[in-house]
């Protein structure tokens, strides 16, 4: 499997994990105390469990990518997670996207293009 595809799978799973965590925490409500029972309730929430699984799989893909490419090439692709989370937050969580977020996203994409083509 192509290393870029492996990186993209890892990034996608990480972004989906974040959205899953947010869905779970929306159902849990605000955390007002940090007690063992609260922590157990959070960790047993199905969306949280799903997010942990996705993050675990993301880590596996990330380790494979790191075994094949230089860290200085692979690591900037983490910024794609921000872009995917932004899009998923808009589509799934109905969060707003302002002009500043769009401009920042465009800069991230430009930076990744420069790193992947010129790096």
Averaged pLDDT for residues 76-105: 92
The length of the chain is 119
CA distances from 34 to 30, 38, 39 (A): 11, 6, 7
The first and second tokens of residue 25, run together, are 């925490």
Look up residue 108 and give its two tokens: 């991230």
Number of domains in the chain: 1
Tokens of 33: 């105390």
- The residue segments making up the domain with residue 22 are 3-118
Residue-level pLDDT at 6: 97
Predicted local distance difference test score (pLDDT) of residue 88:
97
Q: Which residue has the tokens 């932004």?
A: 86
């Amino acid at each position: 499997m192509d290393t870029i595809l492996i990186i993209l799978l890892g990034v996608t799973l990480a972004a989906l994990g974040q959205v899953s965590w947010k869905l779970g925490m929306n159902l849990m409500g605000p955390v007002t105390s940090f007690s063992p029972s609260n922590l157990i309730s959070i960790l047993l929430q199905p969306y949280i469990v799903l997010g942990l699984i996705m993050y675990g799989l993301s880590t596996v893909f990330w380790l494979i990518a790191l075994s094949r490419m230089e860290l200085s090439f692979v690591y900037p692709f983490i910024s794609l997670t921000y872009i995917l989370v932004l899009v998923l937050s808009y589509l799934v969580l109905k969060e707003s996207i302002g002009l500043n977020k769009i401009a920042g996203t465009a800069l991230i994409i430009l930076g990744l293009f420069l790193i992947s083509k010129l790096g």
